[in-house]
Amino acid sequence: MIQRISAVLIATVFLLVTIGLAGAGSNGNSRKGKYLYRKTCRACHKEGATGDRVGKPLSPISKTQADWQKVFDEHKNLPCNDQWEKLSEKDLKDIYAYLYGHAFDSPSPAKCK
Amino acid sequence: MQANNQRPMSRRRFLKLSGAAAAGTALAGQSQVLHALVKKRGGLQEPQVQRRFSVCDMCFNKCGLIARVEDGVVKMLNPNPKFPKSRGMLCARGNAGTKQLYDPDRLKYPLLRKGARGEGKWQRLSWDEALDHAAEKLKAIGDQYTRCGVLFMAGSDLQSQFVHRFAEVYGSYNVLSHESNCLLSRNRAFLDTFGIVPFPDVLNSKYVIMAGANRFEALVTPDSIDMVTAMKDGCKLVVLDPRFTKTAALAHEWHPIKPGTDMAFFLAVANVIVSENLYDKNFVARNTYGMEQLVQHVRQYPPEWAEQECEIPAKDIRRIARELAVAAPAAIVYPGRRTSDYENSSQIRRSFAIVNALLGNWDRPGGLILPGKVGLSSPGYDAPFYEDNPEERVDFGKALMMFPEEGSFKLSRDAVIAGKPYPVKGWFTYKTNPMQTGANRGKTIEMINELDFMLTVDIQMSDTAWMADLVLPAPSYLERQDPASGLQGGSAGACVITRDPVVPALFESKPVFWILKEIAARLDLGEYFDFTLGEFRKKQLQKLPAAAEALRKDGVYSINNKLYGVQGKKPFRTRSKKIELYSERYKKNGADPMPVYRPPRTVPEDRFRIVVGRNAYITQGSSTNNSLLCQIFPENSVWIHPEPAETLGIREGDEVEVASPVGKGRLKAHVTEETRKDTVYMASGFGVLSKALKNIYGKGACIADILEDYDDEITGNMAMHETMVTVSLAQS
């Protein structure tokens, strides 16, 4: 029984997080998100990045909306999670709005820039 | 072939020549100055001839050319035979490019408005004065109204990317291009159906339907040339158009469709293909989403129903659908280009896209093919963020699915006039002429009158420049260095192009890149333009090691990308990862998930629907004043069918007044059976306000002054075929 309650609780928390971030697509400020993404993520996630922590080059069109959703849902598993933890909830919502809103399969895929 | 690295004009010579120009009035043409720019050679001496590559800019196509330069003067422009997209062709407009370069009406130096807007009184400024003034005004507007208080608009040009870059680092989201007056609804429809905007492989097609597209006059390379070649090889061309265009004249079939009913035709074609099981079942099963819903949906649209709407006989619709299916997959419903026509223009093009999907022509010879990967690098930058800015564009949320980076000219203009949701008080335009291309010119003037500052950079004193506060002269395409650019040629493959000066820039003209760099420095934004164009281009080409040499040697770098089978098993870039016959996203955004037919506005008895269209001689207002082209097409006239003309007492060549609820114009009547009885037509680019366009001032009428400004509900694209007009004999 306890196990079942735990499972429901986990599922509920997961759902709330998911809904929260899905909602962020409309609540977050995509324009600010673009700025924050460039400021906080792009140093490591760009072509030719150097330093101790070099990530895969990324842009909004590197992933589908579902993939970005998954990244945000499961960022705790990412090697750069310590960097995520430094961002406020508002910043994360803004970055999400930018990446999700201009994803590979979005209605407005980002143009290379 | 010589690389375009000739010695620049000496400062002494330049100043001498500029002085000669300055002796004239601010706008007066000084044609002797143009000839004075070259050193005279002795009487019988052979001229020194050089041939230099460039890329045409007389329209958006960017065809390859070779300029023949004799003693420093461009004498002739010839096609570049190694340029695959233009198939070794340069059209009449391309040939007339020398007259853009040596146009005595060209802008020569910075001008500041002195009288009322549009009065034509100007004061010549030095570049330093002009740039200081521009920077001061942009700063003042940014400080008072936030950076989004300035609207930027740039035309189809290789340097327009720097206008976008400047707008972003300056801090404005309000950036427009020409696209929302042109082709956004087509892009929306095909992107939302296939996940990418494809190119038609006209060359290898066996059956092409052009609905509204006029490829033998409104040239698109390589499609216009390929259509002729394909027809020689047996391809059938069917044209649906209310006008008997040159394309209609050369087509196998022309159907004078009732304007605004194209969707009825294509829904009926889909009905036949589905009900007679003529579609590629394997393709549809494997690659599409929503077939079951589509089968149900198109049942209500049989050809017999469509005949009542579009006035094309049901038997023809049925036959055409069957012929298409037989020719498939080498069969195309041609996507078209300018699709700014009706309030449901995105949905009309969705019906085109859906029939293409049923034909299974995706990624196959003679069908719709994917754009090629070019591989140019994009030198990045980290734009600052302005915390006091509003959250979004001024036109945000006013269309169901607007492209946030494109916006809508019509909806932005409405917002500027209303001052809501926030004030926009500045406008920067570069090589675009919305005074001639944006429907309802009166509203554009109203918008301009709301502004504190308007700056226009252009080659000539267009009507838009005529209304500006500060006008800065840009060089023509034959006089400037440009960045590299990827160019898609459909089945001709993708390529990289660039430009170097064929001859040095005349007068005091300066490229917009230089202008923006100078203004940025004055606004403490110099770090975002801390490079030369040469350095920028080198970075762009860093992953294409053979490109620079090919551009030098051939004037183009061809990518030789794979043309067919590119999609393979890769998912489509849509939400369902398939071709979306049914769009959940449309449903979520309040649009019909499949195109639902709604009849167009009824044309009242005493009126006509007015339609827009191009001919092969002019590109709207940008070339009507060209001294060669204006000999071929000196003024526009209104096409009217003989029957209503007789009722109205109008004869060929009579001066008539064309009037709508928002404007009117006087021009000559062209009485012709080449248009439907309920439809009139006139070319754009005439009836100019700018007295500096001396060849055409006082000629014809301005269609933008007559058109009402409706817009496509999905994209905010201008809808230019929704206006009903009266035509009457002009009262003297």
Q: How far A4 CA sits from the closest chain B CA (Å)?
A: 33
Same domain, B573 and B632: no
Q: Is the pLDDT of residue B444 over 80?
A: yes
CATH number of B329's domain = 3.40.228.10
Same domain, B90 and B199: no
Tens digit of each residue's pLDDT (9 = 90 or more) over B327-341: 999 999 999 999 999
DSSP state of B374: -
Q: At B182, is the pLDDT very low, low, confident or very high (cuts 50, 70, 90)?
A: very high
Nearest Cα residue in chain B from A29: B391
Check residue B468 and give its pLDDT: 98
Residues of A at the B interface, defined by Cβ within 8 angstroms: 29-32, 35-36, 38-39, 42, 46, 64-65, 101, 104-105, 107-109, 111-113
- Number of CB atoms found within 10 A of residue B15's CB: 12
Same domain, B96 and B204: no
Q: Is the pLDDT of residue B295 over 90?
A: yes
Q: Is the pLDDT of residue B13 over 50?
A: no
Same domain, B75 and B194: no
Rank A55-59, B43-47, B489-493, B495-499 by mean pLDDT and report only the highest: B495-499
Residue B428 lies in a domain: no
Q: Is the pLDDT of residue B174 over 80?
A: yes
Residue of B382, B405, B575 lying closest to A111 (CB–CB): B405
Nearest Cα residue in chain A from B407: A108
Domains of chain B: total: 3
**Percent of chain B surpassing pLDDT 70:** 94
Q: Which positions in chain A touch B385 (Cβ < 8 Å)?
A: 31-32, 35-36
> Among the listed ranges A36-50, B185-199, B297-311, which one has the minimum average pLDDT value?
A36-50
* Distance separating alpha carbons of residues B659 and B320, to the nearest angstrom: 38
Residue B382 lies in a domain: no
Residue B631 lies in a domain: yes
Mean pLDDT computed over every residue of chain B: 94
Q: Do B575 and A105 touch (CB under 8 A)?
A: yes
Same domain, B584 and B612: no
Tens digit of each residue's pLDDT (9 = 90 or more) over B466-522: 999 999 999 999 999 999 999 999 899 999 999 999 999 999 999 999 999 999 999
Q: At A52, is the pLDDT very low, low, confident or very high (cuts 50, 70, 90)?
A: confident
Same domain, B579 and B668: no
Please, how many CA atoms are within 13 Å of residue B563, restricted to the half-sphere of its CB?
A: 21
Residue entry with tokens 């009900």: B275
Q: At B37, is the pLDDT very low, low, confident or very high (cuts 50, 70, 90)?
A: low
Tens digit of each residue's pLDDT (9 = 90 or more) over B584-606: 999 999 999 999 999 999 999 99
Check residue A26 and give its pLDDT: 52
Cis peptide bond upstream of B79, omega within 30: no
C-alpha radius of gyration, chain B, whole number: 26
Q: Which positions in chain A touch B195 (Cβ < 8 Å)?
A: 105
Q: Do B575 and A32 touch (CB under 8 A)?
A: no
Tens digit of each residue's pLDDT (9 = 90 or more) over B216-263: 999 999 999 999 999 999 999 999 999 999 999 999 999 999 999 999
Q: Is the pLDDT of residue B160 over 70?
A: yes
Task: Specify the pTM.
Answer: 0.92
- Tell me which of B101, B131, B160 is where a domain ends: B101
Q: How far A25 CA sits from the closest chain B CA (Å)?
A: 14
**Percent of chain B surpassing pLDDT 90:** 92
Q: Do B384 and A35 touch (CB under 8 A)?
A: yes
Tens digit of each residue's pLDDT (9 = 90 or more) over B14-29: 334 333 333 333 444 4
Question: Is pLDDT larger for residue B621 or for residue B369?
Answer: B369
Same domain, B618 and B581: no
Q: What is the largest CA-CA distance in chain B?
A: 80
Nearest Cα residue in chain B from A42: B382
Helix pair angle (B314-327, B262-275), 10° resolution? 60
Indicate the domain borders of chain A: 2-101
Q: Which positions in chain B touch A31 (Cβ < 8 Å)?
A: 173, 385, 389, 391-392
- Tell me which of B73, B101, B129 is where a domain ends: B101
Same domain, B291 and B207: yes
**Chain A interface, best mutation among B177, B382, B401, by max A CB count within 10 A:** B382
CATH number of B33's domain = 2.20.25.90
Tell me the residue range of the domain where B244 lies.
184-370+566-588
Tens digit of each residue's pLDDT (9 = 90 or more) over B643-698: 999 999 999 999 999 999 999 999 999 999 999 999 999 999 999 999 999 999 99
**Chain A interface, best mutation among B191, B573, B578, B585, by max A CB count within 10 A:** B573
> Does the structure's ipTM exceed the value 0.90?
no
Q: Do A29 and B391 touch (CB under 8 A)?
A: yes
Q: Is the pLDDT of residue A14 over 80?
A: no
Rank B27-41, B411-425, B614-628 by mean pLDDT and report only the highest: B411-425
Same domain, B575 and B634: no
CB-CB contact of B540 with B379 (8 Å):
yes
Residue B299 lies in a domain: yes
C-alpha radius of gyration, chain A, whole number: 15
CB-CB contact of B677 with B256 (8 Å):
no
Residue B443 lies in a domain: no
> Among the listed ranges B17-31, B80-94, B533-547, which one has the minimum average pLDDT value?
B17-31
- Tell me which of B101, B123, B153 is where a domain ends: B101
Question: Is pLDDT larger for residue A4 or for residue B215?
Answer: B215
CB-CB contact of B566 with B370 (8 Å):
yes
**Percent of chain A surpassing pLDDT 90:** 59
Same domain, B648 and B682: yes
DSSP state of B83: -
Check residue A77 and give its pLDDT: 93
Same domain, B659 and B580: no
Residue B17 lies in a domain: yes
Q: Do A38 and B383 touch (CB under 8 A)?
A: yes
Same domain, B575 and B660: no
Size of interface A-B (CB pairs under 8 A): 41
Show the DSSP H helices in B57-126 as ranges: 92-95, 97-101
